[in-house]
A = this chain, B = another copy of it.
Amino acid sequence: MSKIRAAILGASGYTGADLVRLALTHPEIEITALAAGSKAGQSMAAIWPHFTPYALPPLTAAEAVDFAAVDVVFGCLPHAASARLLGTINEATIIDLSADFRLRDAATYAEWYGGEHPAPHLLESAVYGLTEFARSELPGAQLIACPGCYPTAVLLALTPLLESGLIGAERITINALSGVSGSGRGLKEANLFAEVAEAVHPYGLGHHRHMPEIEQQLALAAGAPVTISFTPHLVPINRGELVTCIVELAEGQTHLSLRAALADRYAHEPFVHLLPEGQAPATRMVRGSNHAVVNAFADRIPGRAIVAAAIDNLVKGSSGQAIQNMNVALGLPETMGLEAAPLFP
């Protein structure tokens, strides 16, 4: 069988580059097109010197890609631009890493992303690709929306607990820490080394765009509307995302019930791992890999617990999950190309 011909759109961003990194060692992927509007005509090595050793197609404009000649399109474009372009492609499986097809409701999208949805007719058919919870919908899907990085971490921590009714849907309070790569390669003063290093701060208090996405998916798990508190922080690391969620236990439950449920749910998952009692998830445990680690702890306030998860925001939180989704969608072994162990130190 010939390889899967893949186009990666937005290859000049950190997410696109990480997709290229993973695709390069995926035994069934052949990268046949790389697009990045502002860098069209350049080589990947010119804008990403760490790809110097690799033969890769030159960058083109996204519109210049012959989509009839590719099997899978990975979209790493900014929101809105993503939907505008992807909405025109019919020939290939589309795996979108932007925010455009995550929200089911076009009105919510318009409220949080500042404009009409460019392709609302696709919202219904898009599969929300948190792989571990989407396996039945992925095979054969034409459009897969990869979850945001924060939602990935939160949903892995909380979905089984809400589904089983072990925790309440009220007062879910999420604290989150993210590495700087999460905000992209764009030129912002806030992302300069001297601003970020040796410093931490919260941001997006009360209005971060991942909120409605998390609420949408938690509500599906809970079978009831969910409103969350969400406090993200920028921390001086390149990669890594950590969430600690304060939840209300259902009557009679303890953090041990949560651990039991997580153990049960993730026992056979290749990429999600419950840590031993008392061991805190740490981003260093998953750096550079598609793994996630989770755990639950007693809170000092009775009737509550702390559920924590760590991922690499660029891998399980983005490019790795995209490939995991592709694997499932196309009938390949789910772990193919994603077996690399974390890079520590």
How far apart are the CA atoms of A293 and B246 in the complex, in Å?
A: 25
Q: Is A240 an interface position by the 8 A CB rule?
A: yes
Interface residues in A231-265 by Cβ distance below 8 A to B read: 231, 233, 235-240, 242, 244, 246
Which partner residue on chain B sits nearest A290 by CB separation? Answer: B53
Q: How many copies does the complex hold?
A: 4
Residue A333 is within 8 A (CB to CB) of chain B in the complex? no
Is A5 positioned at the interface, with any CB of B under 8 Å from its CB?
A: no
Contact flag A49-B181 (CB < 8 Å), given A187-B189, A199-B237, A205-B306: no
User: Nearest Cβ in chain B — how far from A204, in angstroms?
Assistant: 9
Q: Mark A296-329, 1 if CB is under 8 A from B, else 0.
A: 0111111010101010001000000000000000
- In the bound complex, what is the Cα–Cα distance between A308 and B10 (angstroms)? 32
- A188 CB-CB contact with B under 8 Å: yes
Listed residue (A177, A238, A242, A286) with the most chain B CB atoms within 10 angstroms of its CB: A238
Interface centre among A197, A271, A340 (most CB of B within 10 A): A197
Whole-angstrom distance between the alpha carbons of A228 and B286 in the complex? 30
Q: Which residues of B contact A288 (CB under 8 A)?
A: 288, 343
Complex Cα–Cα for A306 and B229 (A): 9
| CB < 8 Å neighbour of A236 from B205, B235, B270, B343 | B235
The segment out of A70-78, A116-124, A141-149, A273-281 that lies at the interface is A273-281
Residues of chain B with a CB closer than 8 A to A340's CB = 25, 340
From B175, B227, B297, A175 is in contact (CB under 8 Å) with B175
Smallest distance from the beta carbon of A272 to chain B beta carbons, Å? 9
Instruction: Tell me which residues from 191 to 218 in chain A have a Cβ below 8 Å from any Cβ of chain B.
Output: 191-203, 205-207, 211
Given A229-B304, A306-B205, residue A49 in contact with residue B282 (CB < 8 A)? yes
Q: How far is the CA of A175 from the CA of B230 in the complex (A)?
A: 11
Task: Pick the contact of A201: B54, B195, B230, B310 (CB < 8 A).
Answer: B310
Q: Bound state CA distance, A236 and B287, in angstroms?
A: 15
A341 at the binding interface (Cβ < 8 Å) = yes
Residues of B within 8 A of A289 (CB): 50
Residues of B within 8 Å of A306, CB to CB, are 202, 205-206, 229, 231
Chain B CB within 8 A of A185 CB: yes
Residue contact A185 to B177, C-beta cutoff 8 Å: no
Residues of B close to A17: CB separation below 8 A: 344
List 13 contacting pairs A-B, 8 Å CB cutoff, sorted by A: A49-B275, A50-B286, A50-B341, A52-B285, A53-B291, A185-B192, A187-B192, A194-B238, A198-B239, A198-B284, A198-B287, A201-B282, A227-B301
